[in-house]
Structure 1
Amino acid sequence: MIRNYLKLAYRNLMANKMVSAINILGLSIATGCSIVVFLFLQNYWTMDNFHLNGERIFMVEYTVDKSGREQTWGTSPMPLGPVLATDFPQVEEVVRVEMQGCKVYLGENAFEELAYFADPGYFDMFTFPLKSGSPEVINEPDAVILSASVADKYFNGEEAIGQELTIVFENQVRKVLTVGAVAEEFPENTGFRFGLLTGFNTLKSIGKEGLTDWASHVQSTFVMVRQPEDIDILEERMDKYVALHNAANQMLSIQSFRFDNLRHPNPGAHDVINRPAEAAHPIVTLMFSLMALLMMALSCFNYVNISLGFVGKRLKEIGVRKAIGGRRMQLAGQFMSENLLLCFLSLLLGLALAQGVFAPLLNSVMVMQISISMGENLWLWVFLFGLLVFTGLASGAYPSFYISSFQPVSIFSGRQKLGGKKGLARVLLGAQYVLAFSTVIIGMLLLAAGNYWVAMPWGYQPGQTLMVRLDNAGQYQFLKNKAERCPQVLGVAGSASHIGESQSMETLLIGGEEHDVVRYDVGAGYFEALGLRLKEGRFFDPLLPSEDVSAVVVNETFVKEHQVEDPLGQEAWSDGKPFRIVGVAEDFKIMGSGANHPVIFRLAEEKAFAYMAIRHESGMGKVAEGFMKNAWLQLYPETPFNYFHQEAVFEGFYQSFGDVAKLFGYIAGLALFIACLGLFGLATQNFASILKEASIRKVLGATTASIILLANRGFLLTLFIASLIATAACFLGFSVLVKTMEAYIGTLNLGVGPYLLAYLLVFLAAGIAVGGQSYRLARMSPVEALKSE
């Protein structure tokens, strides 16, 4: 019986190629998207599960009270790890990991990298196999271990072991390290990784201070206990270490220490600040799950709609089979077998689309990469089987049982007509277009937001500033002397941090109240070099260095948010020292999104300078760049010239946001394509059903326009209602999202443009979907259509 079902299913699919193609294509797109989403979420929710000791590895975190709100941080006191290893026999291994930016020089090439420093037990604790070399080199102060990708980037496939790298660390210490090992490629679900890894002995050798100071913090401390339950013993006895830290660090009062398992993160782990290993965020899971459900819903609506519309061609078959004794469940089984065969073909095509199209597209915009490995991923097989069953039931159950319910008497008497479910068809089509409209509107809103941020005023003229990154502060005076000889240069200043590239967060005390602010440490003349505008007071005066050491300049947002009346002369406490506000700068762009934050500027010593800002005449950026390149080559021929123009400082943010917008653009395009497939199928069936009526109207003098309107008015009304529902939902949802994230993205006034553009795209696509059939209807000959009557 099953064999006969499959034979009939195959014959029916081949006999109705267009309907089968529409259903298979729609379902395969949805299936391909679902496979890619599954693989991404599988990696996302199993991050770091490949570490063999994962059940016994815990990260040390601490909690603090910030204005009545509890914050959890992933850093920890520098000496805590070794003390825990000494005080608790339950601790098998402790590994601290420190991180800092560095510049790597290899021949004439320079690379900006993050250097990681770890205790000797790093490779005993974590499962990071080495491709070549020995893990023991982590103990050597002059050795470095590279990741596979960094080794390929530096040496282009050549042997890396034994090669020398010149590295300039954050404290401007220059050190030559020899490559002692290269790691294997990291698994796709790695939540933390390294590019350059060396040991704590290297950290000591470059003069890192505070290695035994409880007030000094390390990026992360990992503790591996002998049994997972041993961590409870440690957690119960951490109070004395809280006291040790708070006695040493008066500016940071820790409430408690806690431990977070590497394999099973604590609830809310994604909110931990500076957590060393990435934790899965529920919002990301929800977003990708909704994406897959959206595609499946669209394709299943398509299938149901087209199947119900197609039933008219099979009424006699159903009537005859029932008349000769066929039972309803047998007919339903026949239709379900046809549906499962179609879903199976869609699954195969979906796998091909996932492998060749969707996975590469996702990999192009996401940091976490995915790959389809059928032989190694058992859960993928389970998912594919579940997906086949789900799509088979979701798309085929209702049509199968609805069609099999027809009675022979109703069929042969003519009472069972095609289109008896037009209301349902319109509802399903409307639901499709609500989803299609919504995704297109979201895509347009994201595109508009990106353009809005790019076009936002900066508060100064970024196109007139060239920034040079210094290898060490001692270069500043030499380069300044050179720069001032360039006729197109208007001013030069140095800074330890810089707008758009490096900043720090600080808690400021004003009138006994704590205020979180963004802090920049800059030299006198920095404001003028960037073109920042003064609202009141003054900027730092190079003639008053001793006075300005205890002065700060704030921005307008600082004054507004903290309700500081008459800010000039007000006292603010930072790092336990009093500072006096001497000036208020007009607000300026400190991040790509344009969100305003309270800002303070403090005067930096020249020995802390890491940047040089060069103000040049308008349109003379290339001239100033060329002049400074030559000056650098004269002074420092052995090291590359590292610079950027201030107008490009947010390009990384715009690129990342553009990738997100691109991803939603892909989703919107696929959703719209599936919806138009359904519209095309329904339009084809609808035009066939009104062909005779249209022919009679044409004979009686109806115009072509009125006939086309007759055929399409139901679709137009459905699309119009769908557009209203989608617009209301997107407007409300986007408004709530912007309000919730205002601190990060600022205010967005995008107007009606994105909505109008979305309408244009969707109605244009819908017009193309029904255009061919409308043209055929307009060109048809009434004689040909009616001669059989």
Structure 2
Amino acid sequence: MIKNFLRITLRSMMKNKMFIVINVFGMGIAIACCIVAYFNWEYDARFNAHHVNAPKIYRVSSVREFEKKSTLYGHAPLPLGAVIRQNIPDVDKTMRMWWSFSDFKVEDNIFRAGLAYADPELFDMFSFEFINGSPAALKDKSKVVLSDEMAIKLFGTTDAVGKMLTQVNGADTKEVEVGGVFRKQPANSSFRENAYMHFDNVYDDDKNMKENDWKNRDMLFVEIADPARVATVQKQLQTYTENNNKVREDFVIKEFVLDPFVGMANRDRSNDTWSRLWPSSPPAAVVSPVIMAVLILLIACFNMTNTAIAISSRRLKEIGIRKVMGSLRSQLIVQFLGETMFICFIALVLGLFMGEVLLDSWNALWEDIKLTSHYFDNPSFLLFLIGILFFTGLVAGSYPAFYISHFEPVSILKGKLKFGGTNYFTRVLLALQYSISLIAIIFAIAFYQNSNYQRDFDLGFNPNSVIIAYVSNQSEFETYRNAIQQNKDIRAVAGSQHSLFSSGYNDPIKYESQQKDVDILNVGDGYIAAMDLHITEGRDFIKDSENDKKEAVIVSERLVRDFGWDKAIGKEIVWMDTVKLYVVGVVKDVYTNGLWDEMEPMMMRYIGPDQYTHVVVNGPTDKLVDINKTMESSWKEVFPNRLYNGRFINEVTVEATTVNNNIVKIFAFLGVVAMLLSATGMFTLVSLNIIKKMKEIGIRKVLGASVSNITRIINTEFVVILVVASVLGSAASYFGVDALMGSIWKYYLPMTSVTVAVSVFLLFFVSAVVIGYKVLGAAKMNPVNTLRVE
């Protein structure tokens, strides 16, 4: 019986090759999209899953309550690690971590280090695979442990244990020995550093950091083997909040919490928790591909359903004869479902190959996400494929199988059964198909418009005209400034300790009874001019003014509004509970976080050259690339042993543009696929409708109906379907676009009426092109031939 079913299936497929190829190709693309969505979801779901001890590990985080809002900070006071190690026996292991901006030098070659400082327990708590050397090398302050990637970059081989390299940290250099080489962590890991050294090296990097200073912060992890003791340990930690609060009255900690390492990367991304570790993908980047892949799969299933009905209409006599010969309805259902399942299986195989292509394309879009396929070593993926096969087979084949198999053989063989055209079910399917297609198109156009909107968004200054380089002290600043000022294209050079889109700190300040958190920048002479900031009230800092260094501040308009000032000049602000500062100027609002997060109030303080660590360079936008090349050339002359660290500060806006453009590409691809599948479904239904109305069309033509009248008769119900789809798709997009954009950015361009109008026009235009030839052919058909056939 199975052999007979298979023979019938193959015979039916050969008779309908065009429909089968279209459906296999469409379903293959849909399955490929699902495969990419699965691996993207798995990448996020298995973030840090390779760490064997993950369930025992916790990050010690600080909870601060400010303005009736509790915020979790993923850091802890620096001395707390040593305190836990000495006083809390329930903690089995403790590990501190901090990051360095050092470079590595081997012979005359300099490389970015990607270096972090950590306690030796790093390799005991977390899972690292060592290729050469030993994890114990991290116990030696004079040794460095490298990733295989970094070892090959430095020495051309992973057999690097015992080799020497130079650590370059600003003007300081230090010879260190390679003590081990580990396999670099996977992309979905919180630890992506290329090198580690003993934590105590942090005090050589930053002379201002003191081991017992509770003002300093680091990342702190603990391992607790007995889960029953976690609550006890957290309770014991509260004893030490006072140590912090005595020296940081501006940053009072409500409590310390043990934040589980499992799921930490996901929570950090969702809650914007302060953390130097790599977070997982944003929720929108995980959920959106899954939703769209499912929608595309449904379109392909609906399309196959309509096609199956069209094909089955040609097999009515076969169904009638089989029923007369004794076939049961259940056997016919199995036959039709089996045929659909077989087609879906072919599409699944094709989808696996297409999935590889789409995976490469996906990885090309996102620099930090590298998805890898693994088909046969992952039981969950095999179950996923089996689930996809049965889902598509049942969704696409159930209605035709159950609907067609219930026909009575007498009606079929006597020719009384009229089968063809559309019905409520097929109309609903087509409306849903086009609704989904319209959603994808609207998303693509909306994100393209948003890209242009954000590109031209006024951030309060021009980020496209500034380059920042980093130096260690006043002497280096002056030497480098003198070297680059010879370039006539440079309009301004200024120094600072912090800068927009580079560095700064956030502290609370008080005005009378009000208290606000503000972003604080310490800047030098000419900084406001070099950054193209606009003073709207008051003045700039006075050069070399000791009074300005002690008590003058320039604030943003946002801070003025937050404190409710009518006139800001002269207002007294209290910082760190004792320092009195006075407003001397107000600058136009600056979006210190780009467009990603809420604009924060900002305050700038004046510093002297002895605190400069930033070289801020302003030049014409069209000549900035050439200026950067000149700066790099001058850097190599002035600092031959250090890697050039200059960067364009518009990286934040470039990232936003990249995200926008990538999303446009994704939805454009999905929109094209969805539209083609939907158009194929409409073509099928139009063909069936024409077949059903052949006699009516012929009679109308005999009675004098024009081509336009015949076209209207055929098209009317499909125009209604498109209108319904347009309403449904537009309504769903209105909420969907806002939800997706809002999950990515704080400031964006909502969907506009122009977006909907253009998308709906494309929907109708593509549909008209697809079915126009078929409809015009039917309208022009000779009625004599039509009626003779009838």
Instruction: Work out whether the TM-score is over 0.5.
Output: yes
1:479 aligns with 2:494: no
**Relative to 1, partners in 2 of residues 1:614 and 1:667: Cα closer, same or farther, differing over 3 Å?**
same
* Residue in 1 that maps onto 2:504: 503
Does the 8 A contact of 1:309 with 1:418 survive in 2? Answer: no
Deviation at 1:445, TM superposition (A): 0.9
* Residue in 1 that maps onto 2:97: 97
Does the 8 A contact of 1:592 with 1:654 survive in 2? Answer: no
Does the 8 A contact of 2:77 with 2:216 survive in 1? Answer: yes
Partners in 1 of 2:221 and 2:632 — Cα distance? Answer: 44
Q: Which amino acid is the alignment partner of residue 579 of structure 1? A: L
Does the 8 A contact of 1:95 with 1:221 survive in 2? Answer: yes
1:763 aligns with 2:784: no
Does the 8 A contact of 1:472 with 1:609 survive in 2? Answer: yes
SS at match of 2:667: helix
Partners in 2 of 1:277 and 1:481 — Cα distance? Answer: 38
* Residue in 2 that maps onto 1:364: 364
Q: Report the more deviating stretch, 683-692 or 537-546.
A: 683-692
Equivalenced residues, count: 785
1:606 aligns with 2:609: yes
Does the 8 A contact of 1:552 with 1:603 survive in 2? Answer: yes
What is the aligned-residue RMSD (CA, Å)? 3.2
**Relative to 1, partners in 2 of residues 1:115 and 1:765: Cα closer, same or farther, differing over 3 Å?**
farther
Does the 8 A contact of 2:507 with 2:519 survive in 1? Answer: yes
* Residue in 2 that maps onto 1:257: 256
Q: Report the more deviating stretch, 43-52 or 457-466.
A: 457-466
Find the partner of 1:593 among 592, 595, 613.
595
Deviation at 1:698, TM superposition (A): 5.1
**Relative to 1, partners in 2 of residues 1:536 and 1:773: Cα closer, same or farther, differing over 3 Å?**
same
Q: Which amino acid is the alignment partner of residue 581 of structure 1? A: V
- Alpha-carbon deviations, 1:685-718, whole Å to 9, x = none? 3344445544555566555454444433332332
Does the 8 A contact of 1:139 with 1:201 survive in 2? Answer: no
- Alpha-carbon deviations, 1:720-769, whole Å to 9, x = none? 2212222233224445666x669x43253664333333234333433343
Partners in 1 of 2:431 and 2:634 — Cα distance? Answer: 66
Does the 8 A contact of 1:192 with 1:278 survive in 2? Answer: no
Does the 8 A contact of 1:108 with 1:639 survive in 2? Answer: no
Q: Which amino acid is the alignment partner of residue 221 of structure 1? A: L
Find the partner of 1:674 among 674, 677, 685.
677
Deviation at 1:136, TM superposition (A): 2.4
Deviation at 1:570, TM superposition (A): 1.2
* Residue in 2 that maps onto 1:584: 586
Deviation at 1:398, TM superposition (A): 2.2
Partners in 2 of 1:173 and 1:783 — Cα distance? Answer: 96
Deviation at 1:353, TM superposition (A): 1.3
**Relative to 1, partners in 2 of residues 1:421 and 1:689: Cα closer, same or farther, differing over 3 Å?**
closer
Does the 8 A contact of 2:103 with 2:643 survive in 1? Answer: no
Partners in 1 of 2:538 and 2:112 — Cα distance? Answer: 38
Hey, which bits of structure 1, 4+ residues long, moved more than 6 A? none
* Residue in 1 that maps onto 2:70: 70
The two structures have a TM-score, normalised by structure 1, of 0.90
Q: Which amino acid is the alignment partner of residue 229 of structure 1? A: A
Q: Report the more deviating stretch, 270-279 or 493-502.
A: 270-279
Partners in 1 of 2:783 and 2:156 — Cα distance? Answer: 71
Partners in 2 of 1:146 and 1:266 — Cα distance? Answer: 24
Partners in 1 of 2:754 and 2:137 — Cα distance? Answer: 59
**Relative to 1, partners in 2 of residues 1:396 and 1:152: Cα closer, same or farther, differing over 3 Å?**
farther
Does the 8 A contact of 1:30 with 1:350 survive in 2? Answer: yes
Q: Which amino acid is the alignment partner of residue 352 of structure 1? A: F
Partners in 2 of 1:320 and 1:215 — Cα distance? Answer: 89
* Residue in 2 that maps onto 1:38: 38
**Relative to 1, partners in 2 of residues 1:444 and 1:24: Cα closer, same or farther, differing over 3 Å?**
same
* Residue in 2 that maps onto 1:194: 193
SS at match of 2:289: helix
Q: Report the more deviating stretch, 438-447 or 499-508.
A: 499-508
Deviation at 1:279, TM superposition (A): 5.6
Does the 8 A contact of 1:365 with 1:659 survive in 2? Answer: yes
Does the 8 A contact of 2:530 with 2:617 survive in 1? Answer: yes
**Relative to 1, partners in 2 of residues 1:118 and 1:623: Cα closer, same or farther, differing over 3 Å?**
closer
Deviation at 1:678, TM superposition (A): 2.1
Partners in 2 of 1:660 and 1:295 — Cα distance? Answer: 16
Deviation at 1:406, TM superposition (A): 1.5
Deviation at 1:420, TM superposition (A): 6.3
Q: Report the more deviating stretch, 103-112 or 673-682.
A: 103-112
* Residue in 2 that maps onto 1:227: 226
Does the 8 A contact of 2:469 with 2:616 survive in 1? Answer: yes
**Relative to 1, partners in 2 of residues 1:749 and 1:260: Cα closer, same or farther, differing over 3 Å?**
closer
Q: Report the more deviating stretch, 199-208 or 25-34.
A: 199-208
Unaligned runs of 5+ in 1: none
Q: Report the more deviating stretch, 283-292 or 717-726.
A: 283-292
Q: Report the more deviating stretch, 777-786 or 286-295.
A: 777-786
- Alpha-carbon deviations, 1:612-650, whole Å to 9, x = none? 223457866567556655644543344454434556663
**Relative to 1, partners in 2 of residues 1:272 and 1:560: Cα closer, same or farther, differing over 3 Å?**
closer
* Residue in 1 that maps onto 2:333: 332
Q: Report the more deviating stretch, 563-572 or 773-782.
A: 773-782
**Relative to 1, partners in 2 of residues 1:715 and 1:486: Cα closer, same or farther, differing over 3 Å?**
same
Q: Which amino acid is the alignment partner of residue 501 of structure 1? A: S
Unaligned runs of 5+ in 2: none
Partners in 1 of 2:435 and 2:109 — Cα distance? Answer: 53
* Residue in 2 that maps onto 1:665: 668
- Alpha-carbon deviations, 1:365-391, whole Å to 9, x = none? 343322222231111111111222222
Partners in 1 of 2:74 and 2:748 — Cα distance? Answer: 31
Give the % identical residues.
Answer: 27
* Residue in 1 that maps onto 2:376: 375
**Relative to 1, partners in 2 of residues 1:257 and 1:648: Cα closer, same or farther, differing over 3 Å?**
closer
Deviation at 1:441, TM superposition (A): 0.5
SS at match of 1:542: coil
Deviation at 1:64, TM superposition (A): 1.6
* Residue in 2 that maps onto 1:241: 240
Partners in 1 of 2:654 and 2:610 — Cα distance? Answer: 29
Deviation at 1:273, TM superposition (A): 1.0
Q: Which amino acid is the alignment partner of residue 380 of structure 2? A: W
Q: Report the more deviating stretch, 346-355 or 597-606.
A: 597-606
**Relative to 1, partners in 2 of residues 1:139 and 1:736: Cα closer, same or farther, differing over 3 Å?**
closer
Does the 8 A contact of 1:172 with 1:472 survive in 2? Answer: no
Q: Report the more deviating stretch, 88-97 or 698-707.
A: 698-707
Find the partner of 2:725 among 698, 722, 725.
722
Partners in 1 of 2:723 and 2:418 — Cα distance? Answer: 28
**Relative to 1, partners in 2 of residues 1:3 and 1:696: Cα closer, same or farther, differing over 3 Å?**
same
Q: Which amino acid is the alignment partner of residue 86 of structure 1? A: Q
Q: For 1:436-455, list aligned pairs within 5 A.
A: 436-455=437-456
Partners in 2 of 1:41 and 1:698 — Cα distance? Answer: 57
Partners in 1 of 2:580 and 2:160 — Cα distance? Answer: 52
Q: Which amino acid is the alignment partner of residue 32 of structure 1? A: A
**Relative to 1, partners in 2 of residues 1:727 and 1:135: Cα closer, same or farther, differing over 3 Å?**
same
* Residue in 1 that maps onto 2:566: 565
Q: For 1:95-494, list aligned pairs within 5 A.
A: 95-104=95-104, 114-153=114-153, 160-161=160-161, 165-169=165-169, 173-213=172-212, 215-263=214-262, 270-271=270-271, 273-275=273-275, 276=277, 278=279, 283-355=284-356, 357-366=357-366, 367-419=368-420, 421-461=422-462, 465-470=466-471, 472-494=473-495
Partners in 2 of 1:528 and 1:47 — Cα distance? Answer: 44
Q: Report the more deviating stretch, 644-653 or 717-726.
A: 644-653
The two structures have a TM-score, normalised by structure 2, of 0.90
Q: Which amino acid is the alignment partner of residue 453 of structure 1? A: Q
Does the 8 A contact of 2:128 with 2:185 survive in 1? Answer: yes
Q: Which amino acid is the alignment partner of residue 250 of structure 2? A: M
Q: Report the more deviating stretch, 24-33 or 329-338.
A: 24-33
**Relative to 1, partners in 2 of residues 1:268 and 1:624: Cα closer, same or farther, differing over 3 Å?**
closer
**Relative to 1, partners in 2 of residues 1:44 and 1:678: Cα closer, same or farther, differing over 3 Å?**
same
SS at match of 1:24: helix
Partners in 2 of 1:148 and 1:663 — Cα distance? Answer: 34
SS at match of 1:519: strand
SS at match of 2:92: strand
SS at match of 2:789: coil
Q: Report the more deviating stretch, 29-38 or 189-198.
A: 189-198
